[in-house]
Amino acid sequence: MTDACALPAWDPRVARSRAVVLAACAELLSEVGFGGVTIEAVAARSGVAKTTIYRQWPSRAELMIDAFRTMATPSVAPDTGDVACDLEQMMLTLARDLVNEPWSRAIPSLADAAARDPELARLHAQFSRECRTPVVEVVVRAQNRGELDPDVAPDVVCAALAGPLFFRHMVSHEPIDAAFVSALLASVLNGIRAPRPAPEPRT
């Protein structure tokens, strides 16, 4: 996936400077966002000469992309046998990352940048698809087990579960805690209609 792993026999000096630069770039991404990262700042932070950075990456965008790849950590789909457990586990992981991980602070700026740069948009789309995959997997499995309504599209479930977490992270800035995750998951799994009454024929 990452170039750092794929290239066959790299000069150790190159490998070192690349790693240092990418780490510094990832730090800066979290701190000042996508648009605020400059090559000179990366050079200053990493201790690597600006010229060396330009020797390794042809443009600022390429460096950003590589740095974001460095931050991106793929997740795995749990399989406890109970869809509620699986989904809650994934949502709690996402919630924890959104609250604690420094790279989560770079998400809005990435979304912004991706809205304008086609290359970044491509990377962003690919990355977000990779992140959604485990959720879709869990949902499909639960549908096959008969736990979930097979008529509901997995992508909708994914948006219904992950969307509110991102919403609080980026838009409303309300707390993202276990209680919220539980309430949200219960709402989506069971619905929010009043359980008691309702001889109401729906139209």
Partner DNA sequence: TCGCCACGCTACGAAACCGTAGCGCTACCC
Partner DNA sequence: GGGTAGCGCTACGGTTTCGTAGCGTGGCGA
- Site residues for a copy of itself per CB under 8 A: 32-36, 105, 107-109, 111-112, 115-116, 121, 124-125, 128-129, 132, 143, 146-150, 152-153, 155-160, 162-168, 170-174, 180, 183-184, 186-197, 202-203
Give the other-Cβ count within 10 Å of 48's Cβ: 19
Which amino acid, one-letter code, is at 102? Answer: P
Instruction: Tell which phi-psi region holds residue 25, choosing left (phi > 0), alpha (psi between -120 and 50) or beta.
Output: alpha
CB of 27 to a copy of itself, least distance (A): 15
Q: Kindly tell me which residue out of 50, 69, 96, 141 binds DNA, with binding defined by CB under 7 A.
A: 50
Q: Kindly tell me which residue out of 13, 173, 196, 202 binds DNA, with binding defined by CB under 7 A.
A: 13
From a copy of itself, DNA, none, interface partner of 62 (C-beta below 5 to 8 A by class): none
Using alpha carbons, select from 32, 100, 16 the residue that is nearest to residue 64. Answer: 32
Helix (H) / strand (E) containing 33: none
Distance CA 144, CA 150 (A): 8
CB of 4 to a copy of itself, least distance (A): 23
Distance CA 108, CA 29 (A): 11
Q: Kindly tell me which residue out of 4, 23, 33, 56 binds DNA, with binding defined by CB under 7 A.
A: 56
49: CB partners within 8 A, 6+ apart: 43
54 binds DNA (CB under 7 A): yes
Task: By CB under 7 A, name the binding residues for DNA.
Answer: 11, 13-14, 17-18, 38-41, 47-52, 54-56, 59-60
